[in-house]
Amino acid sequence: MRILAIETSFDETACAVVDDGTKIVTNVVASSKDIHEKYGGVVPEIAARQQLQSMIPVLTEALSGSGLEKRGGQAPLNTIDAIAVTIGPGLIGSLLVGVETAKTIAMTTGKPIIPVNHVLAHMYANFIDNATIQFPAISLVVSGAHTELYFMKSIKDLQWLGGTIDDAAGECFDKTARLLGFGYGGGVAIEKVALKHSDVRIKLPRPMMDESFNFSFSGLKTAVMREWKKHNDPELASAFAYEIQESITDVLVKKTLRAVKQFSAKSILLSGGVAANQRLREKFPVVIHVPPPALCTDNAVIIASYAYFRGKPMNWRKINATPDLSVEI
Ligand code: KG4
Ligand code: ZN
């Protein structure tokens, strides 16, 4: 089954064509990241305006096979069996661009359309070109907006175990990075400078190490703010980065391993932008599955894969952009 997927939940405009939920035919991602850089964060109106401009060229590339990631595939519209689209969670203006595009294609071609939850889709990056995952599995989705743990009995059967009650792990990386003066795109910046050195004077809490599967990172952010002001020494920035990364990854690894033990899981799946973090990967004492970096961050391949394994086609008239967490499909 060949699915054309569209993803516009945040600052990316992405389209992909994927066969049987696992084989990429084309994968095109256009980001407006550079434009937002000078504002220190994504400006929703600018993101949506850029997505309006990028949508048709990106879609055309994905269908013509001239995408950024060339797999030699060609995927004209008449070869597509269904259309998948992210309906949320995300920025409403951005979601609308993708959802209205997908609905228009469904209406004019009569092809089925499958609404997709962006957060759940992230974990399906692990199934692209990878048939080695054993079930049951524990899946940790760590992105700029989400930190969620799931129990996967099978590729279709998901159970939510817990998630962040305030800031997401990526958000904590981003906000503390800005505080230390590293600017936009915090996670990558923190990882880079954290390699340099640690300093015994900098000690940060490991928040919410309790028995639950929930996470909380806003207190860590406040602790960084307090300690940074107290020491008032820009030369300690890399030591702070080191300790921030240690704190976030300690919590993520501990909770994931606890879930593995409790559910006797045979595999661990990481996904989302923060899964690109090397320190997080190396802290797991067992083999884990992590998608390649381009599939960790936002893209439409994961939307197609989720739609193939778990999606349910709906009448296009009933599909609406849903910015909040009420998206359940
Ligand atoms: O999945 P994603 O591209 O977008 C969302 O759906 O949120 O994740 C972006 C997040 C950002 O917070 C970014 O700082 C973080 O992933 N990130 C990293 C790394 N690369 C990206 N965090 C830590 N270490 C990294 N290497
Ligand atoms: Zn995402």
| pLDDT tens-digit map of 135-169 | 999 999 999 888 999 999 999 999 999 999 999 99
Q: For 7-46, what is each residue's pLDDT tens digit?
A: 999 889 999 999 999 999 999 998 877 766 766 677 788 8
Q: For 222-259, what is each residue's pLDDT tens digit?
A: 999 999 999 989 999 999 999 999 999 999 999 999 99
Cα distance between residue 86 and residue 104, in whole Å:
14
Query: Cβ contacts of residue 298 below 8 Å, gap of 6+?
Result: 7, 9, 10, 12, 14, 29, 118, 273
Structure tokens at 86: 């992210």
| Alpha helix segments (H runs only) across 232-300 | 237-262, 278-283, 293-296
- What's the whole-number mean pLDDT along residues 116-122? 95
SS3 2: strand
SS3 122: helix
Structure tokens at 164: 């962040």
Between the CA of 81 and the centroid of ligand 2 the distance, in Å, is 25
Atom 7 (ligand 1): residue with closest C-alpha? 144
More confident: 203 or 185: 203
Query: For position 196, what pLDDT does the model report?
Result: 74
Query: Which ligand is the nearest neighbour of the Cα of 145?
Result: 1
Residues around ligand 2, an ion, CB closer than 5 A: 143, 298
Query: For position 96, what pLDDT does the model report?
Result: 96
Cα distance between residue 259 and residue 74, in whole Å:
42
Between the CA of 229 and the centroid of ligand 1 the distance, in Å, is 26
Query: What's the chain's Rg over C-alpha atoms?
Result: 20
Task: Judge if the beta carbon of residue 298 lies within 6 A of ligand 1.
Answer: yes
Query: For position 279, what pLDDT does the model report?
Result: 95
Between the CA of 298 and the centroid of ligand 2 the distance, in Å, is 5
Ligand 1, pocket-test mutation among 242, 274, 306, most atoms within 8 A of CB: 274
Atom 22 (ligand 1): residue with closest C-alpha? 187
What does the buried/exposed string (b/e) look like for 102-127 if buried means 16 or more CB atoms within 10 Å of the residue's CB?
bbebbeeeebbbbbbbbbbbbbbbbb
Point out the ligand 1 atom lying closest to the alpha carbon of residue 9. Answer: 6
- pLDDT exceeding 90 applies to what percent of the chain? 78
Cα distance between residue 127 and residue 272, in whole Å:
14
Query: For position 64, what pLDDT does the model report?
Result: 86
pTM over the 0.85 mark: yes
Ligand 1, pocket-test mutation among 176, 297, 325, most atoms within 8 A of CB: 297
- What's the whole-number mean pLDDT along residues 117-125? 95
Task: Judge if the beta carbon of residue 291 lies within 6 A of ligand 1.
Answer: no
Ligand 1, pocket-test mutation among 12, 86, 143, 251, most atoms within 8 A of CB: 143
Write out the H or E segment, with its range, that includes residue 19. Answer: strand 12-19
Is the pLDDT at 134 greater than 90, yes or no? yes
Query: For position 68, what pLDDT does the model report?
Result: 45
- pLDDT exceeding 70 applies to what percent of the chain? 94
Query: Which ligand is the nearest neighbour of the Cα of 118?
Result: 2
Q: For 63-115, what is each residue's pLDDT tens digit?
A: 986 544 555 566 788 899 999 999 999 999 999 999 999 999 999 999 999 99
Cα distance between residue 155 and residue 25, in whole Å:
21
Task: Judge if the beta carbon of residue 14 lies within 6 A of ligand 1.
Answer: no
Task: Judge if the beta carbon of residue 174 lies within 6 A of ligand 1.
Answer: yes
More confident: 319 or 65: 319
The strand pairing partners of 12, in sequence order, are 31
Query: Cβ contacts of residue 267 below 8 Å, gap of 6+?
Result: 133, 134, 135, 136, 137, 138, 288, 289
Give me the amino acid identity at 232.
N
Query: Cβ contacts of residue 16 below 8 Å, gap of 6+?
Result: 4, 5, 7, 24, 25, 26, 27, 28, 62, 67, 299, 300, 301, 303, 304
HEC sequence for 186-246 = HHHHHHHHHCCCCCCCCCCCCCCCCCCCCECCHHHHHHHHHHHHHHCCHHHHHHHHHHHHH
Tokens 């690894």 belong to residue: 253
Atom 21 (ligand 1): residue with closest C-alpha? 273
Mean pLDDT computed over every residue of the chain = 91
Atom 8 (ligand 1): residue with closest C-alpha? 273
Atom 23 (ligand 1): residue with closest C-alpha? 187
